[in-house]
Amino acid sequence: MNTRRSFLQKITAASIAFPLLSFDELREPGQREEQPYDGPVLRVAIMGLGSYGTRVADAMQASQKAKLVGVISGTPSKVQAWQTKYNIPEKNCYNYENFDNIKNNPDIDAVYVITPNALHHDQVIRVAKAGKHAICEKPMALTAREGQEMVDACKKANVQLLVGYRMHFEPKTLEIVRMRKDGELGKILFFQGLSGFRIGDPTQWRLNKQLAGGGAMMDIGIYSINGARYMTGEEPIWVTAEETKTDPVKFKEGVDETIQFQMGFPSGAVASCLSTYSMNNLDRFFLNGTNGYAELQPSTGYGPIKGRTHKGELTQPHNTHQTVQMDEMAGIILEGKRPIIPVDGEEGVRDLKIIDAIYAAVKTGKKVTL
Instruction: Quickly list H helices, the chain.
Output: 3-17, 51-60, 76-86, 117-129, 144-156, 171-181, 209-212, 221-232, 321-335, 345-364
138 tagged catalytic: yes
Which residues on adjacent β-strands are paired with residue 307? 296
Of the candidates 94, 112, 223, 277, the residue annotated as catalytic is: 223
91 tagged catalytic: no
353 φ/ψ angles, rounded to the nearest 5 degrees: -60, -40
Cβ contact 259:194 at 8 Å:
no
Q: What DSSP designation does 49 have?
A: -
Of the candidates 138, 165, 353, 359, the residue annotated as catalytic is: 138
Local structure of 328: helix, strand or coil: helix
- What does the longest C-alpha to C-alpha distance in the chain come to? 95
Query: Rounded CA gap, 14 and 86, in Å?
Result: 51
CA 19 from chain center: how many Å?
Answer: 44
Q: Compute the chain's Rg from CA coordinates.
A: 24
Query: Rounded CA gap, 140 and 158, in Å?
Result: 19
Q: How many CA atoms lie within 13 A of 76 on its CB side?
A: 0
Cβ contact 259:275 at 8 Å:
yes
CB contact set of 337 (below 8 Å; sequence gap of 6+): 328, 331
Cβ contact 186:290 at 8 Å:
yes
Active site residues: 138, 223
